[in-house]
Amino acid sequence: MKDFSYKFALTVLVLFVLTALVGPFLVEHDPMRGSLRARLDPPFWIEGGSTTHLLGTDRLGRDVLARIVEGAKISLLVCAVVIAIAGSVGTAVGTLSGYIGGWVDRVLMRLVDLALSLPVILLALLIGAISGPSFTNIVIVISLVLWSQYARMSRGETLRVKNEEYVDLARTSGLGHVAIIFKHILPNIAPSLIVVATLQVGVVIVLEASLSFLGVGVPPPNPSWGAMVSEGRSYVVTAWWVSAFPGIAIVMVVMAVNVLGDTLTDRINPALRGRNG
């Protein structure tokens, strides 16, 4: 059963990535342009629908399928940028904190505690109110929240690795601190960080969708899964497909990421489950 779940989750994620990278070149309709004549057309299998718009249209006559595909590209881009920034900053802070120790460790960990206490939604609303919704704001807000998790993980793993015999031998041989970090510390803590990054893909997608739902995420008319769900909530009874399909996309991708992350936790670093549990 676990193997089936893992393969299914991996298939969903591969389809998500392919949809984001290739899908926009394959869809027939422009996700930004609509037609009032085709306003709120149902999916093709429902009476009144047609194969012209396979998953129906929204209140402005825009193709739902085309917007979901474009939204997948935005979600993947947000995930890639946020994880790259948060992962780099958090890993650097946590590795230095664990390796150097002392007052440096105490100061950096207090910064981590501060980051963990930040209310992401309120922070996003504040930044959105000041500068308006934008892709940059999403990246900044989510990165400010997520880098601390990398820092805590990399610090804990660094404290474990730096006391290994091969690290002591490297110091004895005259290898510098920077070389030790890059040659011995980072390669050995990388598996745990990969698990964290995998699990955070789902977190980023949910946060991006939540912020877009509240109107402080991706600015319109750019399609975002969260914004699509928000736009369709007024038509849940009469045109359920407007919000249902992007909502299903969010649920499937997040569940697939969680299953894949749990599997990687068991296979790459079983001890990580005990510490996070």
pTM greater than 0.85: no
- pLDDT category at 100 given cuts 50, 70, 90 is confident
Say what the pLDDT of residue 2 is. Answer: 62
Amino acid at 249: A
- pLDDT category at 187 given cuts 50, 70, 90 is confident
Residues 237 and 226: their CA atoms lie apart, in Å, by 19
Residues in Cβ contact with 245 at an 8 Å cutoff, skipping those fewer than 6 apart: 55, 64, 65, 68
Q: Above 70 in pLDDT, residue 271?
A: no
- Going along the chain from its start, the domains and CATH numbers come out as 2-24+64-276 (1.10.3720.10)
Answer yes or no: are the C-beta atoms of 53 and 37 closer than 8 Å. Answer: no
Residue with tokens 């963990």: 116
Q: Regarding predicted confidence, which is higher, 100 or 266? A: 100
Q: Above 90 in pLDDT, residue 85?
A: yes
Say what the pLDDT of residue 92 is. Answer: 92
Average pLDDT, the chain: 83
Q: Above 80 in pLDDT, residue 128?
A: no
Q: Alpha helices, DSSP H only, in the chain?
A: 2-26, 64-100, 102-116, 120-131, 135-161, 165-172, 177-180, 186-213, 225-232, 241-268, 270-276
What distance lies between CA 55 and its chain's CA centroid?
Answer: 25
